[in-house]
Structure 1
Amino acid sequence: MDLPPGDISSMIFRRTVTNGLGDFSLDRQTLNIYMQLNGEETLGQFAAKAGKNLGNLRGVMSNLLKLGLVEEVHKDIVVLDGDFFRYLINQLSLATGPIASVLIEDEVHSLGYEVDQFPGYRASELVDKLAAEIRREEKKSIFIKNMVSKIRQKGYPQ
């Protein structure tokens, strides 16, 4: 398996059990990354926590995949529901007016998703990007506060 082109930040990997671990050598960086893979964190979360660049991580993960030392973990990804998007449109409309739904749709597409398939773990990122479109600081702060509360209420990862 090769890594797909594009965004790999939502992919999750775990170490595989292999009898041939001593049959090849790994550099210190690759071994360090290999040892930290737990099958729970996305590569984006892992990169942020470890202070790694996703571009460099792509090369290391590609190498580990070719060697058969890691495998992708497929988990059901929670997508943002209609209630969340209705609330998001309402809150952003209070700050930006009727253009809110267009801003949301454009931002969702710029992140590489469709509105009906936007992953919950990227909700905070979407809110941050939309908040940047709000010029008045007091409205921006109210928008962020309300959206963080909604993200917590829905149980989306932050």
Structure 2
Amino acid sequence: MPSKRLVLGVRRTYALDRLIDADCPICAFEENLTEKVLEKHIAPLGMYSYHLNKLAQKFDKIRRKDLINTQRKLAKSRECNAYIENQKMILEQKTQEEVNELFTAAMGSTCAPKKTSMKPDYSKYRIVKRSKSSTSSTPTSSSSSSSSSPTSQ
């Protein structure tokens, strides 16, 4: 957006200030061809040299920061690769039996624990055995049984 304002000539100082304040990676400026627009449309005017110098410093600072970050990432990846190569050399020097022991130890530590089958807990249920005497002792069954039973008549 600020690049379009620079080309059109609408509020150039505002657009340059926004570019100076923008906090984005250098690829965003490169995609919008900001530096080429500055060289073609702003540099020939001569009255925006302060802003152009600030932007040049900003672009250099961002590029240096990106370069340092990429070098750090590269160094870390090299360290990881060196560690892996070192471990490979150590394993090559060991006998096959030692490697097998290391492998079984590593697999034993990563295996999931075996699941045990859980039996249901019936202790919370009360189990009552039914018998003939218990069915006649209920009040509803005893009154109906006395009137319908032939022995009580």
TM-score using structure 1 length: 0.24
Instruction: Please say which structure displays the higher CA radius of gyration.
Output: 2
Higher strand share: 1
What TM-score results when the alignment is normalised by the length of structure 2?
0.25
